[in-house]
């Protein structure tokens, strides 16, 4: 069984894994990171989105062995010392979640979106989140939340 | 108020069923039928049993030995848990493997050898009753055909008479296609049977945990006090998580057999193939009217495709749910409907996906028919509606099929929607565009919902009356815990129910913990579906809070050495009339109620109450929706440009949450109208069994919703609130379809069936409409 080294939410793990083990199952079943859920079996829904070396990736479509040597950030690794990441706070403020099941993946995808475009238009946000399905919100408040998150993060960066 | 639930969800700290982990837990997986209809000749499990990580393989024969091969459905039919004699739909459950890890459980499924003898399948519901059609349910004694039920409502003779002499009649066939609620979290369960205590604990994303417990007790023979159903956080339900699925029973049996906890989680394709579908109503609507547009009668015939087992979730006396609210929002003299249910070789279901027990179908029928009439009369569809809408002074209004609508101001809502949309300007824009050969459509839908089932006298689920309990306990320091029988799947109950208590008692909502979903901890009730939480459990919450307030009054009187008759309630305090300074807050009263204060004879102390709320009637929220679409005449692509939604659900407990509910429902409507269908080929192969083919709207297909509001309280509800969660799903598909058909008017199109995909629109435009639910037309 291959042995991999992977950093998840700032902690380094060494794990023996079957080559076929999916990254999302490594996170959920082996490391107890159940904040990242599974919503489909065809890579459409994006509920399992994490940051893999800084870029958003659907963790149901990555083998754990492919993450060897990588840095993974999940929803549980955002925010420091109990405080919320601005994007998490924005989702709360704008009522951008209901059942909460798409939320972890949606927040991670939104953070990656802002990496590419720190001040996105509504159209850019909708395109950027096209890989993440939500059944509850009708997306409207998610778009608002990402705009708000972008503003907050912009402020955070511009502050001395 | 912002949501209390968010704190855990935005951190990935919710607890959904698949997050539950127990020591020694095993994993189950289901072997499913590749055939829609086939006799099972043999099932060989020996190779699977020899797999080193497999702990048990359960077949229909295993279950038959426990008398569990079949289970009762919510419609007084039976459903196979694991098939014994035949399989009756593709994806049906055939065997259950329990293994040490989920990957090995799936491996072992490949090792089971089932010998099938394929049979002809019944896929097209219109052929189910044909002589010589294959008999699907030969397990039922004496069953020689696929007919399930006939049901009718309204006055047939009077309706026929109105049609005889009407100046204008129109008729239209329409299909509300089979769709699926597809909650992002699939179904699953963790079953843990403790042999020492004899107690069974089941974690499961059920919308009705108490009903599940009672059914498990009835079916499995375990006493109810030895069954604990825990519905943890649910990743959306949308009606797909009301009933009991074979996988739940298999997980329970797996735990009993192995003595270990067993987790079973289905994947997406299993969810789409085997859990409750929605709709699948083949409808013929007719309207009788005067030439100047006065609607006189509506007549409807429905052929209902229920799949292989009649598992439709609805009150016992209503085999077609509340379909007979199909006379809608209009002042109509008479109406009649007849509904025939048939078996086909498809998965069971029917009532799901925010349908309020078939109100989706009813509203779609009438709102399409009004547009068909408008086209026939050459009249503007909004104007035709304004001429026929019920007037505010007519409420409470008894409909021609016997519903008593509680309250409404319909013209006000429609006029608001028209103002918001700039209706006249839109029509002018449309005329300009038509002159240039561009296709723009404006669709209007006005709906009346019927939610909050319901009065125990008429409404029960398998004999369980549809009343709901609430328990409220105020702690000595004035904080409170409310226990309710409804079960949130994202609707925000932990926030809004705390707000109701807060408003009634003057306790900050943050100081009220709402407990739900654990049958050991909460009072009995029937759960959350049919938008019934606010009408029933919300009412129970207000009433139980008022009981506590009444008790607090007696305690306050003892504290103040006054007569209770001299006290008045204001700003969260009981105080002496005319002397507001002589008063006690609820927190002070709570502490005193738990102290050594001398209380009047018969008052036991402490500050808590229990109630059961039996609603006197449903609530009838309503709304006016206007959708604007642009259609590309070359490709048939529909773009929803704007969507204006005016909803009236009476008093809004939390406007932010109400708006979020409406946004979600509008996305459902756009998805159903334009994208979603569960199609089958003639062998019964499911052609929409993954998100590759069963398309859900993304952020790209949804416009920015434009919401409006009017407030017409329900006179029968303690706080004037009506349900709302399903309104937008009910009301919006007709608005989208009406808009697309309106756009296609230059081609002489009067109707086109959902989903209006580019291919279908293109075919309609070219005079060659296509039945999207069947791969072979």
Of residues A18, A37, A130, nearest to B699 (C-beta): A130
Cα-to-chain-centroid distance, residue A9: 11
Whether residue B690 and residue A93 make contact (CB cut-off 8 A), yes or no, is no
- With 0-12 CB in 10 A as exposed, 13-18 as middle and 19+ as buried, what is A130? middle
pLDDT confidence of residue B776:
53
Beta strand residue intervals within B523-676, DSSP E: 567-570, 573-576, 579-585, 607-613, 622-631, 638-648
**Cβ within 8 Å of A, B 511-540:** none
- With 0-12 CB in 10 A as exposed, 13-18 as middle and 19+ as buried, what is B8? middle
pLDDT confidence of residue A160:
41
Interatomic CA distance for residues B118 and B115, integer angstroms: 10
Interatomic CA distance for residues B656 and B660, integer angstroms: 6
Interhelix angle for B359-377 vs B727-743, to 10°? 30
Does position A158 have pLDDT exceeding 60, yes or no?
Answer: no
Interface test with B, best of A22, A59, A136 (most B CBs within 10 A): A136
> How many other C-beta atoms lie within 10 A of the C-beta of residue B403?
19
Q: Which residues of chain B have pLDDT under 50?
A: 777
Nearest chain A Cα distance for residue B343, angstroms = 29
> How many other C-beta atoms lie within 10 A of the C-beta of residue B288?
26
Of residues A25, A126, A141, nearest to B663 (C-beta): A141
pLDDT confidence of residue B777:
46
Whether residue A133 and residue B698 make contact (CB cut-off 8 A), yes or no, is yes
Supply the ipTM of this predicted assembly: 0.97
Does position A159 have pLDDT exceeding 60, yes or no?
Answer: no
In the block, residue with structure tokens 């429902």: B665
DSSP state of A47: T
DSSP state of B357: T
Nearest chain A Cα distance for residue B649, angstroms = 19
pLDDT confidence of residue B456:
94
Is the backbone peptide bond immediately before A82 cis, with ω within 30 degrees of 0?
A: no
Q: Which residues of B touch A98 (CB under 8 A)?
A: 236, 490-492, 660-661, 664
Q: CB within 8 A of B52, min separation 6: which ones?
A: none
**Cβ within 8 Å of A, B 91-110:** 101-103
Interatomic CA distance for residues B211 and B43, integer angstroms: 33
Nearest chain B Cα distance for residue A19, angstroms = 12
Whether residue A42 and residue B491 make contact (CB cut-off 8 A), yes or no, is no
CB B341 within 8 A of CB B310: yes
Q: Which residues of B touch A84 (CB under 8 A)?
A: 10-11
pLDDT confidence of residue B271:
98
Whether residue B236 and residue A79 make contact (CB cut-off 8 A), yes or no, is no
Pairs of residues, one from chain A and one from chain B, whose beta carbons lie less than 8 Å apart: 176
Whether residue A97 and residue B19 make contact (CB cut-off 8 A), yes or no, is no
Q: Residue A127's closest chain B neighbor by CA? A: B700
Which residues on neighbouring strands pair with residue B302, listed in sequence order?
B283, B339
Q: CB within 8 A of B190, min separation 6: which ones?
A: B17, B20, B22, B25, B202, B203, B204, B251, B261, B262, B263, B264
Q: Which residues of A touch B656 (CB under 8 A)?
A: 95
pLDDT confidence of residue B769:
84
Residue A155 — very low, low, confident or very high, per pLDDT cuts 50/70/90? confident
Whether residue A76 and residue B6 make contact (CB cut-off 8 A), yes or no, is no
* Residue-wise pLDDT tens digits, B428-479: 999 999 999 999 999 999 999 999 999 999 999 999 999 999 999 999 999 9
∠ CA B516-B521-B526, rounded to 5°: 55
Interatomic CA distance for residues B503 and B497, integer angstroms: 10
Q: Which residues of B touch A20 (CB under 8 A)?
A: 103
Of residues A74, A133, A138, nearest to B666 (C-beta): A138
**Cβ within 8 Å of A, B 487-516:** 489-492
Q: Residue B237's closest chain A neighbor by CA? A: A99
Closest by Cα among B706, B707, B715, B718 to B653: B718
Interatomic CA distance for residues B137 and B144, integer angstroms: 8
Interatomic CA distance for residues B252 and B260, integer angstroms: 10
Q: Which residues of A touch B3 (CB under 8 A)?
A: 92, 95
Q: Which residues of B touch A101 (CB under 8 A)?
A: 14, 16, 183-185, 235-236, 490
CB A109 within 8 A of CB A48: no
Interhelix angle for B727-743 vs B655-674, to 10°? 40
Closest by Cα among B653, B669, B670 to B724: B653
* Residue-wise pLDDT tens digits, B253-279: 999 999 999 999 999 999 999 999 999
Q: CB within 8 A of B500, min separation 6: which ones?
A: B538, B541, B542, B545, B653, B719
Nearest chain A Cα distance for residue B209, angstroms = 17
pTM of the model: 0.97
* Residue-wise pLDDT tens digits, A21-55: 999 999 999 999 999 999 999 999 999 999 999 99
Interatomic CA distance for residues B452 and B533, integer angstroms: 7
**Cβ within 8 Å of A, B 233-292:** 233-236, 238, 267-269
């Amino acid at each position: 069984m291959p042995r991999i080294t992977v950093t998840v939410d700032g902690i380094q793990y060494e794990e023996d894994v079957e080559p076929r083990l999916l990254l999302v199952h490594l996170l959920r079943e082996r490391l107890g990171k159940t904040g990242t859920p599974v919503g489909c079996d065809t890579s459409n829904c994006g509920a399992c989105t994490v940051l893999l070396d800084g870029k958003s990736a659907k963790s149901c479509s990555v083998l754990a062995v492919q993450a060897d040597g990588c840095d993974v950030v999940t929803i549980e690794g955002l925010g420091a010392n109990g405080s919320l990441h601005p994007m998490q706070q924005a989702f709360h403020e704008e009522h951008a979640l209901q059942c909460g099941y798409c939320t972890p993946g949606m927040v991670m995808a939104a953070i990656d979106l802002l990496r590419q475009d720190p001040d996105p238009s509504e159209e850019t946000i909708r395109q950027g989140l096209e890989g993440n399905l939500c059944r509850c919100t009708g997306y409207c408040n998610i778009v608002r939340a990402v705009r708000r998150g972008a503003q907050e993060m912009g402020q955070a960066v511009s502050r001395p | 108020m912002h949501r209390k639930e968010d704190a855990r969800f935005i951190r990935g700290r919710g607890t959904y069923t698949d997050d539950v982990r127990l020591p020694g837990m095993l994993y189950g997986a289901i072997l499913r039928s590749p055939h829609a209809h086939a006799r099972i000749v043999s099932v060989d499990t020996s190779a699977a049993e020899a797999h080193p990580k497999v702990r048990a393989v359960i077949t229909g024969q295993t279950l038959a030995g426990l008398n569990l091969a079949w289970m009762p459905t919510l419609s007084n039919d039976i459903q196979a848990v694991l098939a014994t004699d035949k399989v009756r739909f593709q994806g049906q459950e055939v065997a259950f493997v329990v293994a040490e890890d989920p990957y090995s459980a799936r491996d072992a499924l490949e090792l089971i050898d089932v010998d099938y003898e394929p049979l002809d399948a019944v896929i097209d519901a219109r052929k189910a009753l044909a002589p010589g059609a294959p008999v699907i349910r030969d397990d039922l004694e004496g069953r020689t055909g696929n007919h399930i039920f006939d049901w009718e409502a309204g006055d047939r003779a009077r309706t026929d008479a109105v049609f005889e002499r009407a100046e204008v009649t129109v008729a239209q066939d329409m299909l509300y296609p089979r769709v699926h609620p597809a909650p992002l979290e699939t179904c699953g369960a963790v079953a843990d049977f403790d042999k020492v205590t004899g107690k069974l604990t089941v974690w499961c994303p059920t919308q009705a945990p108490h009903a599940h417990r009672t059914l498990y007790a009835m079916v499995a023979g375990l006493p109810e006090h030895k069954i604990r159903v825990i519905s943890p956080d649910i990743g959306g339900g949308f009606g797909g998580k009301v009933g009991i699925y074979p996988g739940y029973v298999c997980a329970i049996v797996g735990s009993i057999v192995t003595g270990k906890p067993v987790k079973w989680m289905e994947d997406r394709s299993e969810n789409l193939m085997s859990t409750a579908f929605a709709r699948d109503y083949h409808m013929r609507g007719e309207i009788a009217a005067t030439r100047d547009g006065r609607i006189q009668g509506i007549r409807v015939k429905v052929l209902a495709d229920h799949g292989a087992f009649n598992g439709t979730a609805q009150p016992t006396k209503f085999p077609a749910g509340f379909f007979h609210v199909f006379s809608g929002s209009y002042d109509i003299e008479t109406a009649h409907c007849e509904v025939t249910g048939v078996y086909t070789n498809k998965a069971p279901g029917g009532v799901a996906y925010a349908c309020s027990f078939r109100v989706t179908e009813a509203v779609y029928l009438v709102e399409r028919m009004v547009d068909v009439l408008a086209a026939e009369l050459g009249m503007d569809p909004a104007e035709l509606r304004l001429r026929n809408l019920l007037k505010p002074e007519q409420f409470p209004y008894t409909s021609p099929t016997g519903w008593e609508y509680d309250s409404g101001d319909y013209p006000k809502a429609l006029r608001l929607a028209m103002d918001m949309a700039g209706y006249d300007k839109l029509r002018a824009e449309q005329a300009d565009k038509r002159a240039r050969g561009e296709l723009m459509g404006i669709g209007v839908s006005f709906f009346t919902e019927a939610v909050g089932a319901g009065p125990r006298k008429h409404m029960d689920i398998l004999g369980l009356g549809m009343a709901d309990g609430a328990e409220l306990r105020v702690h000595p320091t004035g904080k409170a815990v409310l226990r309710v029988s409804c079960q949130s799947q994202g609707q925000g109950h932990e926030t809004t129910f705390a707000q109701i208590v807060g408003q009634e008692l003057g306790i900050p909502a943050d100081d009220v913990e709402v407990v739900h979903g654990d049958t050991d901890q909460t009072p009995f009730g029937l759960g959350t579906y049919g938008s019934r939480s606010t009408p029933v459990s919300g009412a129970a919450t207000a009433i139980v809070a008022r009981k506590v307030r009444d008790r607090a009054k007696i305690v306050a009187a003892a504290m103040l050495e006054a007569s209770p008759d001299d006290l008045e309630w204001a700003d969260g305090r009981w105080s002496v009339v005319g002397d507001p300074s002589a008063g006690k807050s609820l927190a002070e009263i709570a502490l005193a109620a738990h102290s050594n204060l001398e209380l009047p004879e018969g008052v036991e102390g402490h500050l808590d109450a229990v109630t059961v709320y039996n609603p006197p009637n449903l609530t009838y929220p309503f709304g006016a929706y206007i959708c604007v679409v642009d259609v590309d005449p070359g490709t048939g692509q529909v773009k929803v440009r704007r969507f204006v939604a005016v909803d009236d659900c009476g008093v809004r407990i939390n406007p932010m949450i109400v708006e979020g509910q409406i946004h979600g429902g509008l996305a459902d409507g756009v998805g159903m109208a334009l994208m979603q269908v569960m199609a089958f080929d003639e062998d019964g192969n499911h052609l929409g069994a993954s998100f590759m083919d069963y398309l859900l709207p993304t952020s790209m297909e949804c416009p920015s919703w434009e919401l409006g509001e009017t407030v017409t309280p329900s006179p029968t509800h303690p706080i004037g609130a009506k349900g709302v969660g399903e309104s937008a799903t009910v009301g919006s598909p007709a608005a989208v379809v009406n808009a697309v058909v309106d756009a296609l008017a230059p081609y002489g199109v009067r109707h086109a069936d959902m989903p209006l995909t580019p291919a279908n629109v293109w075919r309609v435009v070219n005079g060659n409409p296509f039945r999207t639910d069947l791969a072979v037309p």
